[in-house]
């Protein structure tokens, strides 16, 4: 889609909107404990890597594994959101 005329700008606007929403939510639950700008950049890079890993057609990362790792790294409650059906969080 990015290569289609006139599409890149609306997609970028949508991406920035959701990035800002996510940053606001993360600030509310206070997952960052250092410099907020640096922590946000690291979090964003982790999320971008996770998203690419999940959708990669060559060697996709399992969604449950990616979710488990990110939730552990950022000390999030595993009951938040929607764990996949085959996730070990469902077995607890």
Tens of pLDDT along 25-70? 776 666 667 777 787 788 888 888 888 888 888 888 888 888 889 8
Percentage above 70 pLDDT, the chain: 78
* Cα 67 to chain centroid, rounded: 9
Cα separation, 50 vs 35, whole angstroms: 22
Question: What's the whole-model pTM score?
Answer: 0.59
- Contact yes or no for 10/4 (Cβ under 8 A): no
């Amino acid at each position: 889609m990015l290569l289609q005329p006139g599409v890149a700008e609306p997609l970028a606007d949508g991406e920035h909107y959701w990035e800002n929403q996510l940053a606001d939510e993360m600030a509310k639950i206070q997952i960052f404990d250092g410099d907020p700008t640096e922590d946000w950049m690291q979090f964003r890079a982790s999320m971008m890597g996770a998203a690419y890993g999940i959708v990669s057609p060559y060697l996709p990362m399992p969604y449950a594994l990616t979710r488990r790792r990110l939730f552990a790294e950022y000390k999030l409650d595993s009951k938040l959101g929607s764990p996949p059906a085959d996730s070990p969080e469902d077995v607890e």
